[in-house]
Structure formats: C-alpha cells, structure tokens
C-alpha cells in the first residue's frame, strides 16, 4: 500500500494535464468529474495509506520512496523522492480531504463561469503542488512544490483577470511572498554549501551534529527559513498580501488562502524543527511574530465590512496561533491546530461563498442580515464554523486545539506568561469578531432577498466540513478530561516532544476554564454590541474610536506604511537611477551583441564564391594552427 504513495500527488497532476490538454473540447460536467474525481481518488489513497501507516507502522515510523534521480552529477543528486512520516501523513490526509470537499463545492459554485475548465485545471495543479510540498524528502523538491503553490495562488487570485484590481491583487501576493521565497533559496544554498546535502532528514542530522546551539550558521539558516515561512503564511511583516488575495473566487480563498497554502510556512518550520532548535533566538522570534500577528489581525478583523476580509484577517490570526505554538516548541499542537483550522476555516469560507452567491455577489456584511430563516442550512454551517473558530468549550474542535496551544504556552520551558496572555486576549477577540459576523449576517432584519440557494454538492461539502469542525477535536482530548491523545502520540513519532514543566491537573483545569471563559465573554460582547448598535455608533464617533476604526480597517495601515517606506522610494530611486552604470553595462552589452550581429550578417550575402573562400581560408588557418602549434 505504501509503495503507491507516488499516486497521491500524481493523480491531481494527471487531472490537471487532462483538463489542460482536452478541457477545451470537454463539457463542463466532464471537467468537473475529472477534477473532483482525481482529488477524491487521491483522498481515498491517502486514507488507505493512513490506515496502513497507523496500524502497521513502517520501520522507523517513516517511509521513503525514491522515484528517480533527476540529473545526477558529482556531488549533486537531486532525487525525486517522497517521504511519509506522521507529519506528512497528517498534512496529506487533511489536504486531500479538504481539497476534495472544496472542489466538490466548486463544481456547483463555479457553474456557468466561462473559465470553468481553467479554474479546475489550476485547482488540480495546486493540489498536486501542495502534495509535492508536504511529501518532499529533500529541500529541492519541497521548493518545487513551494513555488508551484505560489504560482497557482497567483493564477487563481487573478482568476477574473479582466478586472485590473484582481490582477493587481495577484501581483501583490506574488511579489510579497517572493521576498520570502528569495530568503528560502538563500537558505537552500547555505544548507547545501555547508552541510553538503539537501535531503531534509540528513541535513537536520548533520546540522545537529556539526553546528553548536546558537551558532551563526544555524541562526542564519533558521532565520532565512522563518522569512520564507512568514511570507507564505502571511505573518508579520509580510502579511499584507492576504486580505487582497480575497479577490479570487471564494473556493480559492477557502482552499489556498485558508486551509492549505498559507499553512505551508507552519509545515516548513515544523519540518525543519532541528534548525530552529539549534537557534533558540529565532524560535523565540517565531513565537513573538505569531503572538503579535494574532493580536493585530484579530483587531483588524473586528471592524471589517467585507465578509471575506473578516475571514482573511481571521486566517492570519489563526496561523499566528500556529506560529505561537511552533515558537514554544509545541510542534504537534501547531499541526493539530492546522488540521482543525483547515476544517472550520474552509467551512466558514464556503458558507460565506454560499451567502455571497445567494445575494448576487454582495460582499458587504451590512447589506446582509436576517439570513437565518432564508438560508437555514448555510446558517447552521456558518454557526458551527464560527463556534469552532471562537473555541466554544467542549463541543467544538477549535476549543481543543486552541486550548492545547494556550496550555503549551504556559507550561513550555520556552513559554512565558506574556505569550499565554496574548493568546488568551486573541481568543477573546476571535470569539468577538466571529460572532459579530454571525449576528450581523444571519440575525436582525432581512436586507437583501436571497436568490439561488446552495444545491446538493455545496450542501454536502458544508455538512461534512461542519461535522469535522465539531468532532475533529476529539482525537486529542486534554488529559484532565479523558486521557485520549492519539494524534500527538502519532505526531511525536516524527516531531520532538514538547519539553514542558509539569503543572498540576488543577492548574490545567483552571487554565482551560479561563480560556473557555474568554471565548464565552467574546461571544457575549459580540451579542451586546449587536443589540446596542447606538453604543457602537457612539464609540466609533469618538475621536479615538474613529481613529482606531480607520487604523484597523486598513489592517494597521501596513500597506500605506510599506508604500511610503519601500515602494515609492524604491520606484523613485529606480527612476533616478535609471541610467546607472549597471544598466549602462547591460545596454552596452546588448548593443554590442546587436552591432556584432549586423557586422556578421553582412557575410551572409548569398555569394557562393565568398562562402567557398571562407572554407578555404578556414582550412588554411586550421592547418596552420595544428601544424605550427
């Protein structure tokens, strides 16, 4: 069974190829069948592989499949090889499963779009790249997947490319993440030149052997990888692209910009954990970036009016939680939260998509309202998603994963009260903005009459995701309730254990109660403000209130700051420096080539006499060279 691992990424790739090559001639239903079918098959394969892996673990709890070596040369063996261990197993299972549901949803959601085949081709290519990313056994292949998902993200954000705003958003996402990608490439060069290998496990082992903790090289490698992760995962300071990325179709936002691609940074840090353990400062930085991002993004989410932008900031904030967990060494808690987040956030996006579709492309939440009765199915799905996001105690999956992260912040040796407090404040804010959305969109009076209701395929995807948003948490229950944690046991076969100071069961229970209360308080405040709109009005009208509102609405004005600090100076500098020596050199080279071309082309005059003369002259020169030298 495990030897069929290669099929998992290959199937979506085959789907992509068949749609690209034959999509023009296929009917829409055929395209959807292929696109959804291959990912479904891939998910089934992943499930089968998972069962085999869990019940009959391979030797060393990992399975490496070397497919071939691309271009072997002395000292450089770029192998195309896949590695399945607990970490990649969880990633692969979640990715294929969520992608299948989202594609099923899209088959209906995207119906009638003129780019139907194009959409599915790119979605399949994305899934294939994402699977290559998480299954790669070496950094080079990982990088291929990394760039592949980046390219698909670019193509899908600008899917409706005729609107130049969408194309701009796509470009922004591409350029901002590219900063991180460049850092990643430098990290790869560093690792290859100093460790002599690009195989992830081997490089990690050699680094642990050869580099002392806190050495310059270890810090540099970890910091560069952190930069890459920050770009991909939309964390401070490279977070500005994510809200704009909502220009793409809603299923794209659900799959790429919520469930999978934005968590690639989390995966990278977890995968390269050895490097971060060697650089404690960088690891501390991971936690701090996570904590700050989760707070800033949560504040920004509080005031947004566009339903998708709320969710975008929420994604940023939730990925911040994952970074927080990674930063304190709670590797498996981060992956647990990734899994749960993939379920509830894609549920929220798909629910939002259903609302948007019903209201004829309306994104403004204040034009919605009262949809509880008009769209009951969507309402329940969205409510479950919001509850899970708000970490409603005991019944939702979000509670278990977020609680674990908060607990780890408290107990970890590298944790601190401040990180815990930031996480707790974030939990409060999360609950507040999540339920602000629920109340404004689904309660109150009906403002716009809904049109098309979700059909079977959209409904089924919502229902399954809703189920998992509630139940996925039960595979990792805190020990003071029931001692049942198969997920962390599984993950700890490939990720290091959290080194924690033990606290009593009572402290643990107390921490859980505090975290639960924070969420409930957030929900209460959301309800309170919703019932008293006049109060909100007054708050917003105070000078301080309106200033903060504007600040948060623009996501802390990072765009404006970057524009003033980097973009405009850069463009100005480029303009001033248009004719600098480098350009001059380039232009001279080009011009020299061109003039040499015109010089040489003169010899090609079609006169056979001269051609023959050239042959003879050449012969004389060569004889001279050979005999005389």
Partner 1 sequence: MVRGDFFILLPLIITGGAAVAVMLLISFRRSHLATATVTLVALGAAVISVICVAAAAPRQASALLILDSYALFYMGLIFAAGCAVTMIAYDYFERQTDHREEFYLLLLLATLGSAVLVSSNHFASLFLGLEILSVSLYALIAFHRERLPSVEAGVRYLILAAASSAFLLFGMALIYLERGDMTFFRSTQIASGVPAWSPLLLAGTALLIVGIGFKLALVPFHMWTPDIYEGAPPPATAFIASVSKGAAFVLLLRYVTLFGLHSGSVQSAAIAAIAVASMFFGNLLALREEKVRRVLAYSSIAHMGYLLVAILAAGPLAAVAAGYYLVAYFTSIIGSFGIISVREGREGGGDAVSDYRGYAWRHPWLGGAFTAMLLSLAGIPITAGFVGKFYLLAAGLESSLRLLVVVLVASSAIGLFYYLRIIITLYGPPEAERQGAAITPAVSLAGGVALTALTFLLIWFGAYPAPLLRLIQAMVGG
Q: Within positions 17 to 76, which residues make up the interface with partner 1, using CB under 8 A?
A: 24, 68-74
Q: Which is nearer to partner 1, 78 or 377 (CB)?
A: 78
Tell me the chain's radius of gyration from C-alpha atoms.
Answer: 27
**Least distance from partner 1 to the Cβ atom of residue 624, Å:** 9
Rounded Cα distance, 382 and 380, in Å: 5
**Least distance from partner 1 to the Cβ atom of residue 154, Å:** 18
Residue 569 in the binding site for partner 1 (CB under 8 A):
no
Residue 481 in the binding site for partner 1 (CB under 8 A):
no
Report residue 168 as tokens: 């701009």
Q: Which is nearer to partner 1, 510 or 621 (CB)?
A: 621
Residue 594 in the binding site for partner 1 (CB under 8 A):
yes
Q: CA 44: distance to chain centroid?
A: 23
**Least distance from partner 1 to the Cβ atom of residue 596, Å:** 5
**Residues 555, 313 contacting (CB under 8 angstroms):** yes
Q: Can you tell me which of 367, 503, 509, 596 binds partner 1, judged by CB under 8 A?
A: 596
Give the closest residue to 350 by CA, choosing from 384, 305, 319: 384
Residue 619 in the binding site for partner 1 (CB under 8 A):
yes
**Segment interacting with partner 1 (CB under 8 A) among 335-343, 349-357, 511-519, 611-619:** 611-619
Residue 585 in the binding site for partner 1 (CB under 8 A):
no
Q: Can you tell me which of 367, 541, 567, 615 binds partner 1, judged by CB under 8 A?
A: 615
Report residue 532 as tokens: 């008293």
Residue 622 in the binding site for partner 1 (CB under 8 A):
yes
**Least distance from partner 1 to the Cβ atom of residue 417, Å:** 51
Residue 588 in the binding site for partner 1 (CB under 8 A):
no
Q: Strand, helix or coil at 620?
A: helix
Residue 582 in the binding site for partner 1 (CB under 8 A):
no
Q: Which is nearer to partner 1, 68 or 456 (CB)?
A: 68
Q: Can you tell me which of 455, 486, 569, 618 binds partner 1, judged by CB under 8 A?
A: 618
**Segment interacting with partner 1 (CB under 8 A) among 148-156, 376-384, 423-431, 600-608:** 600-608
Residue 600 in the binding site for partner 1 (CB under 8 A):
yes
Burial 200-211, CB ≥16 within 10 A → b, else e: bbebbebbeeeb
Residue 610 makes CB contacts below 8 A (sequence gap 6+) with: 603
Using CB under 8 A as the binding criterion, the count of chain residues that bind partner 1 stands at 34
DSSP character string of 238-267 = S-THHHHGGGS-HHHHHIIIIISGGGHHHH
Report residue 297 as tokens: 């993004």
Q: Which is nearer to partner 1, 513 or 621 (CB)?
A: 621
**Least distance from partner 1 to the Cβ atom of residue 593, Å:** 6
Output 511-514 pairs: Cβ under 8 A, ≥24 positions apart.
511/403, 511/406, 511/407, 511/410, 512/393, 512/403, 512/407, 512/478, 512/480, 514/424
Q: Which is nearer to partner 1, 582 or 601 (CB)?
A: 601
Residue 623 in the binding site for partner 1 (CB under 8 A):
yes
Element (H, E) at 219: helix 216-232
Give the closest residue to 355 by CA, choosing from 344, 345, 346, 364: 364
Report residue 137 as tokens: 């056994």
Residues forming contacts to partner 1 in the complex (CB under 8 A) are 24, 68-74, 593-594, 596-598, 600-601, 603-604, 606, 608, 610-612, 614-615, 617-619, 621-623, 625-627, 629
């Amino acid at each position: 069974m495990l030897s069929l691992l290669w099929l998992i990424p290959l199937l979506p790739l085959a789907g992509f190829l068949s749609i690209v090559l034959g999509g023009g001639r296929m009917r829409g239903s055929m395209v959807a069948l292929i696109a959804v079918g291959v990912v479904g098959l891939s998910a089934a394969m992943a499930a089968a592989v998972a069962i085999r892996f869990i019940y009959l673990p391979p030797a060393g709890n990992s399975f490496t499949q070397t497919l071939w070596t691309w271009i072997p040369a002395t000292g450089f063996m770029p192998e195309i090889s896949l590695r399945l261990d607990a970490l990649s197993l969880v990633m692969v299972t979640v990715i294929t499963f969520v992608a299948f549901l989202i594609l099923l949803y899209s088959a209906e959601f995207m119906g009638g779009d003129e780019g139907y085949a194009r959409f599915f081709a790119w979605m399949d290519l994305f899934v294939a790249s994402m699977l290559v990313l998480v299954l790669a056994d070496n950094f080079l292949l990982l990088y291929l997947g990394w760039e592949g998902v980046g390219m698909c993200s670019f193509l899908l954000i600008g899917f409706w490319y005729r609107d130049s705003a969408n194309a701009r958003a796509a470009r922004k996402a591409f350029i901002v993440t590219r900063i991180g990608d460049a850092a990643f490439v430098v990290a790869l060069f560093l690792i290859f030149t100093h460790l002599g290998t690009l195989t992830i496990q081997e490089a990690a082992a050699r680094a642990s052997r050869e580099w002392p903790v806190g050495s310059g090289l270890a810090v540099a490698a970890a910091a560069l990888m952190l930069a890459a992760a920050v770009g991909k995962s939309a964390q401070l300071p490279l977070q500005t692209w994510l809200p704009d990325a909502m220009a793409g179709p809603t299923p794209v936002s659900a799959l790429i910009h919520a469930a999978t691609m934005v968590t690639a940074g989390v995966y990278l840090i977890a995968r390269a954990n050895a490097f971060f353990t060697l650089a404690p400062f960088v690891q501390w930085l991971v936690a701090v970036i996570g904590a700050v991002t989760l707070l800033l993004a949560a504040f920004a989410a509080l005031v947004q009016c566009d339903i998708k932008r709320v969710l975008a900031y929420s994604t940023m904030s939730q990925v911040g939680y994952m970074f927080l967990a990674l930063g304190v060494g709670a590797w498996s808690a981060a992956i647990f939260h990734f899994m749960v987040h993939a379920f509830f956030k894609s549920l929220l996006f798909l629910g939002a998509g259903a609302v948007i579709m019903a209201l004829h492309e309306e994104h403004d939440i204040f034009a919605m309202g009262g949809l509880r009765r008009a769209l009951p199915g969507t309402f329940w799905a969205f409510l479950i998603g919001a509850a899970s996001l708000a970490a409603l105690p005991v019944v939702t999956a979000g509670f278990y994963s977020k609680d674990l992260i908060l607990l780890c912040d408290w107990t970890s040796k590298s944790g601190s009260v401040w990180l815990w407090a930031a996480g707790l404040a974030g939990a409060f804010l999360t609950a507040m903005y999540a339920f602000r959305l629920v109340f404004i969109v689904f309660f109150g009076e009906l403002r716009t009459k809904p049109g098309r209701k979700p059909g079977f395929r959209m409904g089924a995807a919502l229902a399954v995701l809703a189920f998992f948003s509630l139940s996925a948490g039960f595979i990792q229950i805190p020990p003071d309730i029931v001692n049942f944690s198969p997920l962390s046991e599984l993950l700890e076969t490939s990720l290091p254990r959290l080194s924690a100071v033990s606290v009593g069961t009572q402290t643990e229970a107390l921490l859980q109660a505090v975290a639960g209360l924070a969420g409930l308080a957030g929900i209460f405040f959301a309800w309170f403000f919703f019932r008293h709109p006049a109060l909100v009005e007054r708050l917003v009208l105070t000078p301080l209130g309106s200033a903060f509102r504007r600040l948060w609405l623009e996501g802390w004005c990072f765009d404006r700051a970057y524009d003033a600090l980097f973009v405009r100076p850069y463009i100005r500098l480029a303009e001033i420096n248009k004719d600098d020596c480098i350009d001059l050199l380039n232009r001279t080279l080009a011009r020299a080539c061109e003039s040499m071309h015109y010089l040489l082309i003169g010899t090609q005059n079609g006169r056979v006499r001269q051609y023959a003369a050239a042959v003879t002259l050449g012969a004389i020169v060569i004889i001279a060279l050979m005999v005389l030298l």
